[in-house]
């Protein structure tokens, strides 16, 4: 029970007897970081508005704990699961357990492979990579590129690299871009990114690359720490993802060039609406994509990500209320 906690969303004036009829959604977080806490809070707000209950779990990066939590949520009577899988492969066990109990599963922002997954709601993750690489090649069309990918057990990290490749491959073929290192970073962890860049700088006698294509803001912090620790003589162009507060501060201060902003409210609101439809066994028509997960074409709802640098900070994250202007600009 250590990692399991319960958040009950209910209107204070409702009688307890009525609340038992409410739709109950299980929201399974892979870990509590800035990104997933934001998603969680928007989901809870939307659930409150629509008068449904949400039970939240945190797997603390453990794929096996996340599987155990599935049964615990089912025992607590959830009608539907919103799953952010720690691992795209072992996540199939979550879907199997849920289906054995007639509970539908919506993969929330992370795809789950080789199973009878019901729905997938996310962003266009190939486009996330495309936007990063387009930005980098616009400003640095020639030079040494270090590819700092996410966790490879997360399909988003793989899709993102496809997006990078689509843009940089022609530059590599023409000899303009040289990829000096290409890696995935376990758990999307800042410390692991630090060690990867630190080791590269040591082995290359501090030959700082011109670009670090970083898949996530947390990895970018690790890269910046390693550059500082090695007294690097220049900052490469560093990308990122998630528009975390610290990343936006780094962008306006110049140590990170850009990040990818994902308007989470669109995703979270859509996910809650879809979850309620699943719980009520309503007829669902998702217009748009399906994505093949190795077993079936999964009906998918994909949102466009946005490229963010210092020029559009105010018109995007600030205008949307995603971050506060004073927090971004008063960080020195
Ligand atoms: C990915 C997600 C990214 C980032 C990363 C680390 O699945 O697409 O936006 O949050 O996880 O949490």
pLDDT at 16 > cutoff 80:
no
- Tokens linked to 64: 């096996």
Token pair 């309620």: residue: 276
Nearest CA to ligand 1 atom 2: 156
Q: Compute the distance between CA of residue 264 and CA of residue 38 in angstroms, rounded to an integer.
A: 8
Percentage with pLDDT > 90 across the chain: 89
Segment 59-79, tens digit of pLDDT:
999 999 999 999 999 999 999
Eight-class DSSP state of 213: E
Q: For a substitution probing ligand 1, which of 86, 153, 154, 262 has the most ligand atoms within 8 Å of its CB?
A: 154
pLDDT at 44 > cutoff 70:
yes
Instruction: Delimit the domains of the chain by residue range.
Output: 12-117+263-303, 125-262+307-329
Segment 241-250, tens digit of pLDDT:
999 999 999 9
Nearest CA to ligand 1 atom 10: 35
Q: Please state whether the predicted TM-score (pTM) of the whole model is above 0.85.
A: yes
Do 219 and 196 contact (CB within 8 A), yes or no?
no
Q: What is the mean pLDDT of the chain?
A: 93
Longest dimension (CA), the chain: 70
User: Residue 322 Cα, ligand 1 centroid: separation in angstroms?
Assistant: 17
Q: Compute the distance between CA of residue 207 and CA of residue 144 in angstroms, rounded to an integer.
A: 10
Of ligand 1's listed atoms, the one at least distance from the Cα of 84 is: 7
User: Residue 124 Cα, ligand 1 centroid: separation in angstroms?
Assistant: 12
Please identify, in words, the CATH class of the domain defined by 12-117+263-303. alpha beta
Q: Compute the distance between CA of residue 102 and CA of residue 79 in angstroms, rounded to an integer.
A: 8
Task: Assess whether the C-beta atom of 156 lies below 6 angstroms from ligand 1.
Answer: yes
Task: Assess whether the C-beta atom of 242 lies below 6 angstroms from ligand 1.
Answer: yes
Segment 192-235, tens digit of pLDDT:
999 999 999 999 999 999 999 999 999 999 999 999 999 998 88
Q: Is 3.40.50.2300 the CATH classification of the domain at 125-262+307-329?
A: yes
Whether 12-117+263-303 shares its CATH topology with 125-262+307-329 is answered yes
Q: Does residue 263 sit in helix, strand or coil?
A: coil
Q: For a substitution probing ligand 1, which of 85, 216, 260 has the most ligand atoms within 8 Å of its CB?
A: 216
Q: Compute the distance between CA of residue 118 and CA of residue 306 in angstroms, rounded to an integer.
A: 27
Where would I find the H helices in 86-189? 91-100, 125-139, 155-173
Do 239 and 132 contact (CB within 8 A), yes or no?
yes
> What pLDDT band is residue 284 in, cutting at 50, 70 and 90?
confident
């Amino acid at each position: 029970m250590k990692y399991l906690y319960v958040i009950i969303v209910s209107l204070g004036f409702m009688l307890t007897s009525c609340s038992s009829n409410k739709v109950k959604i299980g929201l399974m977080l892979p870990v509590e970081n800035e990104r997933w806490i934001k998603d969680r809070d928007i989901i809870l707000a939307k659930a409150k508005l629509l008068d449904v209950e949400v039970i939240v779990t945190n797997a603390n990066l453990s794929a096996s704990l996340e599987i155990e939590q599935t049964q615990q949520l089912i025992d607590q009577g959830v009608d539907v699961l919103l799953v952010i899988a720690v691992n795209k492969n072992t996540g199939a066990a979550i879907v199997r357990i849920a289906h054995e109990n007639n509970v539908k599963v919506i993969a929330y922002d992370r795809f789950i492979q080789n199973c009878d997954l019901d729905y997938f709601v996310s962003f266009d993750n190939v486009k996330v990579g495309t936007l990063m690489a387009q930005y980098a090649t616009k400003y640095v069309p020639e030079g040494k590129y270090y590819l700092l990918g996410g966790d490879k057990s997360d399909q988003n990290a793989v899709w993102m690299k496809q997006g990078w490749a689509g843009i940089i491959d022609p530059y590599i073929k023409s000899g303009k871009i040289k990829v000096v290192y290409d890696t995935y970073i376990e758990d999307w962890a800042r410390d692991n990114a630090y060690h990867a860049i630190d080791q590269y700088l040591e082995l290359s006698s501090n030959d700082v690359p011109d670009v670090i294509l970083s898949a996530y803001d947390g990895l970018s912090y690790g890269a910046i720490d390693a550059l500082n620790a090695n007294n690097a003589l220049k900052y490469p162009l560093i990308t990122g993802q998630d528009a975390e507060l610290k990343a936006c501060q780094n962008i306006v201060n110049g140590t990170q060039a850009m990040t990818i902003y994902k308007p989470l409210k669109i995703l979270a609101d859509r996910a809650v609406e879809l979850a309620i439809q699943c719980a009520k066994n309503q007829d669902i028509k998702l217009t748009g994509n399906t994505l093949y997960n190795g077993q079936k074409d999964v009906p998918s709802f994909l949102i466009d990500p946005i490229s963010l640098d210092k020029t559009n900070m105010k018109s995007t994250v600030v205008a949307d209320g995603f971050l506060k202007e004073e927090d971004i600009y008063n960080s020195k």
